[in-house]
A = this chain, B = another copy of it.
Amino acid sequence: VEAGLVTLADIRAAAERLAGRVLRTPLLPLTTADPDRPLWLKAESLQVTGAFKLRGAYNAILPQLTEARRSGVVASSSGNHARAVAWVARELCVRAVIVMPDAAVPAKVDAVRALGAEVEIVTPDERDTRAAKLAAESGMVLVPPFDDPAIIGGQGTVGLEIVEDAVDVDVVLVPVSGGGLISGVATAIKSVKPDTRLIGVEPTLAGDAAESFASGRLVSWTPQQTYRTLADGLRTTSLGQIPWRHVHRYVDDILTVDEDEIRDAVRQIAAGCRLVAEPSGAVATAAYLHRAAQLPATGRFVAVVSGGNVAMRTYAQILATEPEASTESAF
């Protein structure tokens, strides 16, 4: 194993750490899938915080519990990572400060506060630096969103569960943003079953990782670019440095999907699997549905549904777009 990369042993240690603390999410068949290439959904949307982020947060905080209990934890996020860190802090009786941008949706701020975390609102120019500054000044334990081996190790437990529960899987599709999830999943799956194809998926409108992958060098997009996508969990402007090394080592391809394809996947996940997926959580399924030409023609597929946190108004609008769709026609 290349020096500095997360290992299968790290991920197995994370799995032991997380046992009983996170849900071992089910693998559910999408009953509308093509029988020649059956698809199972890894339903991380069913985690108690509605997203896989809980795994990395636990795995980062538990080994530093003494320091965390003494000084607290701090994280910067307006989304699923914020919620996960706040949840873990509450469960472990640890003080948490969540740095959130002044543009954050009030409902998201309220949700984090409802978990007992303190919220510090910052302007865009402090957004990326404030949490690290707080940690340096106060001794609080910083919980980064993705560019960290412990986070990657925690998210990797998703991959471990996939290869344990779907022993014959041929292709695994994973949403990509900062790269923590795909790095962990790819490490686990390629270590246990190296012939599995491991494919990242992101919105075309936030396709920085696909460009990095294709060009072989880590590129960044601007927020003006990435914020165009409906998939608000995938607007990170670049893969993290540590994830980039894992992606380069383990990932076979990164595909992009369009906004209408993401909406269609949200609908098909509801109709064919009865899961509420957020747009970001649906991109891997969107690639299965709409990028068949770029994927193996046969084989057993797994798509990670990474989260289910979506405003009901937005969700209802997405579902209403094709009024003929129904779980009645699920097979």
**Counting CB contacts under 8 A, is A65 at the interface?**
no
Asked whether A330 and B50 contact (CB < 8 A) given A274-B45, A312-B322, A319-B315, the answer is yes
- Fill in one digit per residue for A71-99: 1 if any B CB lies within 8 Å of its CB, else 0: 00000000000000001000000000000
Residues of B within 8 A of A267 (CB): 312
Residues of B within 8 A of A20 (CB): none
Give the segment of A23-31, A134-142, A144-152, A211-219 that binds chain B: A23-31
Complex CA distance for A327 and B45, rounded to whole angstroms: 11
Give the segment of A1-9, A154-162, A303-311 that binds chain B: A303-311
Complex CA distance for A96 and B324, rounded to whole angstroms: 27
Complex CA distance for A214 and B107, rounded to whole angstroms: 43
Complex CA distance for A226 and B330, rounded to whole angstroms: 26
Interface SS of chain A: mixed
Across the interface, do A326 and B107 meet the contact criterion of CB distance under 8 Å? yes
Q: Chain A, interface size: which category?
A: 35 or more
Complex CA distance for A177 and B279, rounded to whole angstroms: 36
**Counting CB contacts under 8 A, is A292 at the interface?**
no
Known: A49-B331, A111-B328, A276-B276. 10 other contacts (CB 8 A): A28-B46, A110-B329, A111-B331, A270-B312, A274-B276, A274-B309, A308-B327, A312-B326, A312-B327, A315-B327
**Counting CB contacts under 8 A, is A316 at the interface?**
yes
Complex CA distance for A275 and B105, rounded to whole angstroms: 23
Least CB distance, A183 to chain B, in whole angstroms: 25
**Counting CB contacts under 8 A, is A115 at the interface?**
yes
When the two chains form the complex, which single residue of B46, B320, B330 contacts A316, counting CB atoms closer than 8 Å?
Answer: B320
Complex CA distance for A292 and B27, rounded to whole angstroms: 34
Complex CA distance for A277 and B109, rounded to whole angstroms: 27
Residues of B within 8 A of A278 (CB): 327
**Counting CB contacts under 8 A, is A12 at the interface?**
no
Across the interface, do A274 and B275 meet the contact criterion of CB distance under 8 Å? yes
When the two chains form the complex, which single residue of B115, B309, B320 contacts A313, counting CB atoms closer than 8 Å?
Answer: B320
